[in-house]
Amino acid sequence: MIAREGLVPIGVAFAAAAAVAHYAGVAWSLPLWALAAYVLYLFRETVPDIPNLPLAVLSPGNGRVIEVTQARDPWLDRDSRRTSVELAGLGIGVMRSAVEGKVMDYWTSAQPFNRPKTVRSTGFSPNCYSVWVQTDEGDDIVFTVSSLRPISRFKLYCAPGERIGIGQRIGFIYFGKVVEVFMPLGTRLEAAPGSTAQAGCTVLGHLVRNASRSSSTAQAG
């Protein structure tokens, strides 16, 4: 399955390869055919098998878990459990909701307050896109997408006030680097560093009912 965001770049890549093959010969077009195949690979999209697990927190993106720790959530100003996932390849792909609930807010920043180790070590100032979702039980989940590339872009397909389902397709990232998921302190973490994470499938943690309540009033205004 091909992501709808890839239809234009895929079409352009294959059209360019076909044009060169027609006017200059097949041999000259081979590099462009290879490039077109790679673009097709970049924009592939799989339909996740969303686990039916109450209070589960899923990975928003595809990649590898690089850090599991307790950290300060700078967006809601709270102590939290944080799992960081390094996005696969060039960081192009669908982003999915970690939980079911209501979108409370969305932020963009050129300089996030908190960075995973792989981002801090570069010395660059990454772009950062953050989404805050509150579950029906009142637990707050914030996930951020950071990128070191100035051409990165995150398209969000939901707005504050909307309800979203767990594993729902809510956005598309171009050239992302790391996804961080901030969860309440009482969350039981499941994913270990080095393990593979699949968007909308891999369980990063399980919320413990009434484990934590962030003070949302500071953000609601």
Q: What is the pLDDT of residues 44-85, one digit of tens each?
A: 888 888 888 889 999 999 999 999 999 999 889 999 999 999
Instruction: Count Cβ atoms below 10 Å from residue 11 Cβ, excluding itself.
Output: 12
Find out whether 72 and 78 touch, Cβ atoms under 8 Å.
Answer: yes
Contacts of 158 (CB under 8 A, 6+ apart): 103, 164, 170, 171
Q: What is the mean pLDDT of residues 100-113?
A: 80
Find out whether 198 and 48 touch, Cβ atoms under 8 Å.
Answer: yes
pLDDT at 117: 47
Closest of 60, 126, 140 to residue 93, by C-alpha: 60
Closest of 152, 141, 155 to residue 94, by C-alpha: 155
- Whether this model's pTM surpasses 0.85: no
Tell me the domain boundaries of the chain: 4-42, 56-215
Fold of 56-215: Glucose Permease (Domain IIA) (2.70.70)
Side-chain-facing half-sphere of 1: CA atoms under 13 Å:
8
Task: Estimate the crossing angle of helix 7-24 against helix 26-42, to 10 degrees.
Answer: 170
pLDDT at 6: 85
pLDDT at 108: 84
Tokens of 113: 């307050």
Distance between CA 138 and CA 151 in Å, rounded?
36
pLDDT at 61: 92
Amino acid found at 169 = R
Whose structure tokens read 């939901």?
Answer: 158
pLDDT at position 131 over 70: yes
